[in-house]
Amino acid sequence: MRLLDAALSVRENAHAPYSGFKVGAAVRGAAGGIFSGCNVENISYPEGTCAEAGAIAAMCAAGEYRIVEVAIVADSPVPVSPCGGCRQRLAEFAAPDVPVTMSTLGAEQKTMSVGELLPGAFGPDHLEA
């Protein structure tokens, strides 16, 4: 299955009654598995979670911890861009050269690497004494 198809499919299950903006995300693990997630909003708005967070949680729940490819899709006029928090979440499990394909529901797509999306990421080096 194409990663983008997994993101498109899971997007249908998004719980986004407050923003009306459904997002689907899918990550491919190092062993080849595909894990997907959608945004899940909450009446207490800050408690909502992004699609990327859901996909990453599904991956970890399956015992996979390395991401080799990412796809994100939404019904946006330009390819949907992951929020700052999700860029950091992706960087936790993906090397800087991992491609992130952002897509509209139409044909428009844009691919950037995790390193391009989050230059100068806070990482393990910063914690060393």
- Which helix (H) or strand (E) element contains residue 89? helix 84-93
Taking the complex as a whole, how short is the minimal distance between the CB of residue 80 and ligand THU, in angstroms?
Answer: 5
Quick note: the x/- pattern for ligand THU over 26-65, rule CB under 6 A, is: -------------x-x------x-xxx-------------
Among 103, 35, 102, 95, which residue's Cα sits nearest to residue 68? Answer: 95
Taking the complex as a whole, how short is the minimal distance between the CB of residue 49 and ligand THU, in angstroms?
Answer: 7
Catalytic residue among 41, 52, 108, 116: 52
Structural contact between residues 14 and 51, judged by C-beta atoms closer than 8 angstroms: yes
| Calpha distance 69→112 (Å, rounded) | 11
Taking the complex as a whole, how short is the minimal distance between the CB of residue 61 and ligand THU, in angstroms?
Answer: 18
Active site residue 41: no
